[in-house]
Homo-oligomer: A and B are copies of this chain.
């Protein structure tokens, strides 16, 4: 029953006196607060709180007390602090996967990569350098639904917290996506909502943009339309050809993806509708 370093997430309709109610529950449970972050979405009438707790934590009792104290529609939950597990889907590009592997390896990303799945073979060698199981899941000559079924079967062999699309260049069906609600994270090759679709850097070059960006977001339905977690940009100029923009874009993709994942891993990202609350 003694568990330290838990995080209590409160996500419920806003109403007067909420903080007092929640605080009293925590107080009655004799829990100490290490860090507390709150946000009231006054436009939508929703209350969000993230509390790092210390003390002898009876999860069942705490959640029951919370359920009694909070209005209906609450999505309170208790999550673990600390290292998480990731399954990673890739196609052929190495840069994001490489970044995840190296940062996972030396500890800058608080996550272990438990499996890498790809519809191509060429990143197998990179996976093996870091002793991560690599699964080639061929998409040729089969229907999309069968391919996704094969992916799901492979994923089902592993225990993981999140699926990361680290430049997985195939669109996932809503059926696949619905298996992992708010648990699939994509890095988009652009500053959403600009340049949705293919060849974004050719589009950006043609438009003569001076800044390009990348967007990390949850995938809940339509590929590029889910709740945004973080975005980053980099300046470019007239001397950048599309391939130079792509190179600059890859750098941003890497840093935006790892930045977003670190916040997700620390349970600082709450999804509400198509938006996110990202606590410090």
Which A positions have Cβ atoms within 8 angstroms of B?
A: 16-17, 19-20, 23-24, 26-27, 32-43, 94-95, 98-99, 101-103, 105-108, 126, 129-130, 191-195, 206-211, 213, 227-233, 237-239, 241, 247, 250-251, 255, 274-278, 280
| A237 contacts B278, C-beta separation under 8 Å | yes
* B94 pairs with A98, CB closer than 8 A: no
Please, which residues of chain B bring their CB within 8 A of the CB of A101? 102
Partner of A105, one of B98, B206, B227: B98
Given A106-B95, A195-B193, verify A36-B38 contact (CB < 8 Å). Answer: yes
Instruction: Kindly list chain B residues whose C-beta atoms are within 8 Å of the C-beta of A20.
Output: 23-24, 26-27
Do most interface residues of chain A lie in helix, strand or loop, or is the interface mixed? mixed
- Docked pose: A241 CA to B26 CA in angstroms: 26
Please, could you name 18 A-B residue pairs with CB atoms under 8 Å apart, sorted by A?
A17-B32, A19-B33, A33-B40, A34-B42, A94-B106, A94-B107, A95-B108, A98-B105, A101-B102, A108-B250, A192-B207, A193-B195, A193-B207, A207-B274, A211-B232, A213-B233, A237-B280, A238-B278
Q: Please give, as numbers and ranges, the residues of chain B lying within 8 Å of A34 by CB-CB distance.
A: 40, 42
Chain B residue with Cβ nearest A38: B36
Q: Give Cα A238–Cα B47 distance, bound, in whole angstroms.
A: 12
Identical copies in the complex: 4
Question: B residues within 8 A CB of A26?
Answer: 20
A211 and B193 within 8 A (CB): no
Complex: chain B residue closest to A25, CB-CB: B20
Q: Is the CB of B228 within 8 A of A208?
A: yes
Shortest Cβ gap from A62 to chain B (Å): 15
State the CA gap A20–B28 with chains docked (Å): 10
Interfacial chain B residues near A208, Cβ < 8 Å? 227-228, 274-276
Is the pair B207, A231 in contact by a Cβ cutoff of 8 Å?
Answer: no
Residues of chain B lying within 8 A (CB to CB) of residue A232: 211
Which chain B residue lies CB-closest to A33?
A: B19
Say yes or no: B105 contacts A126, CB within 8 Å. Answer: yes
Residues of B within 8 A of A195 (CB): 193
Bound Cα distance from A40 to B274, whole angstroms? 31
A263 to B50, CA, bound (A): 24
Q: Are A275 and B238 in contact (CB under 8 A)?
A: yes
Q: How far is the CA of A102 from the CA of B105 in the complex (A)?
A: 12
Please, which residues of chain B bring their CB within 8 A of the CB of A275? 207-208, 238
How distant is the Cα of A41 from the Cα of B240 in the complex, in angstroms? 9
| Inter-chain contacts of A255 with B (CB < 8 A) | 251, 255
